[in-house]
Structure 1
Amino acid sequence: MLFAHRWLGRLNMLVIALALLAAALMMLQVSLDVICKYLFNRPVPLTLEAVASFYMVALIFLPLGLVTRERGHIGVDLFTRRLSARAQAGLDAFAGLLGVVLAGLLVWFTGGEALHQTRIGETWETALGYVEIWPARWLVPAGCLTMCAWFALLTLDDLRFAATGRRALPHP
């Protein structure tokens, strides 16, 4: 299980690096667009399309694996805070199993849509012609896949802790 944890951690760092690159490029392009628009009356072409179809999609979906690894999803412990750590881990395992199923469904359906859009070569019409945006469709299932993998790994660790009282993975 530690091998999977290390491997997924490395994969997460690569995915987060891509999200950070998207954020940096978006800041650069939008800043340049504003400067060029107001100083030279010549905005940077395709800024709106790049922000809407690539940068924002990367910023929203690629970090999902990291959020899951850090157990950063919203949780309410109003009724469970007085339970033992092992009982809480059992409930976390159940919630994690639901997370695996739901994230798996997201991967399945968004992957199918990405495949469909790739096959038809999805484009947006702009004033300058057509812009292919189908590659951005693959960012959604990629982020959901890392989230699904982390849910699975953490669920196994929670099950182990609920049953034995020992964890195999570092717990935040």
Structure 2
Amino acid sequence: MQLVLNRFSWFLSYIAMACLLLMMLQVVADVVLKYVANAPIENNLEIVSFYYMVAVVFLPLAMVEMRHEHINVDLFYRMLPRRLQTIVYSLASVAAASFFGILAYQTAIDAVRATHIGEVMMGTSLVPIWPSRWFLPIGLSATALICLNHAFQAVVNPHFDPEPETPELTEDETK
């Protein structure tokens, strides 16, 4: 299960990276075409806003959780005994999974509705935006599954460490 979630997280991150690259290229092309040929890309704002930005934000959430890189505050957590840390971490992971699961469920309902009605956005022409509605439930569901997997791993694996690996700083980087 761990391997499947890991690969799926990477897959979603690669899609997000491709969207980021495409967004950059499209915005640059739009600016160049606008000022050089006076022919901007039609519906550029809508495509960037409803497709690229949504994919870049929501698809990599699973990878961020997989690598334990979400923002967390462990002010008192580190002072707890190891066993209590495991319990707290597991409960927090289940709570996070519940939160992401509820969001995934609601956004899936919205995506189904948008797909059913063929949701469009009015730009210089009609832009179908219903496909982009699916990025949210996909990214949020994957994140919820990873949170559940982390809770499970914390309980069954005595060597599970929720801390992200931090690279050692070289002497040049500390100056």
Return the TM-score normalized by structure 1.
Answer: 0.90
From 65, 70, 77, the equivalent of 2:67 is 70
State the distance in 1 between where 2:97 and 2:162 align. 20
> After the TM superposition, which residues 108-123 of structure 1 pair with which residues of structure 2 at under 5 Å, given as runs?
108-123=105-120
Q: Which structure has greater helix proportion?
A: 1
State the distance in 1 between where 2:123 and 2:94 align. 43
State the distance in 2 between where 1:79 and 1:170 align. 15
> After the TM superposition, which residues 2-81 of structure 1 pair with which residues of structure 2 at under 5 Å, given as runs?
4-81=1-78
The superposition leaves residues 113-132 of structure 1 with CA deviations (integer Å, 9 ceiling, x where unpaired) of 000010010001122x2111
Partner in structure 2 of residue 153 of structure 1? 149
State the distance in 2 between where 1:29 and 1:96 align. 38
State the distance in 2 between where 1:157 and 1:67 align. 17
Letter in 1 for 2:132: A
- Equivalent residue of 2:78, what SS? coil
Letter in 1 for 2:6: G
What is the identity percentage for the equivalent residue pairs of Structure 1 and Structure 2? 34
Partner in structure 2 of residue 139 of structure 1? 135
Q: Aligned pairs, how many?
A: 164
The superposition leaves residues 131-165 of structure 1 with CA deviations (integer Å, 9 ceiling, x where unpaired) of 1100000000000011011001000011225xxx3
RMSD: 1.6
Instruction: Point out 4+ residue stretches in structure 1 off by more than 3 angstroms.
Output: 169-172
Q: Gaps (5+ residues) in structure 2? A: 165-175
Structure 1 residues 122 and 45, CA gap change in structure 2 (3 angstroms): same
Q: Gaps (5+ residues) in structure 1? A: none
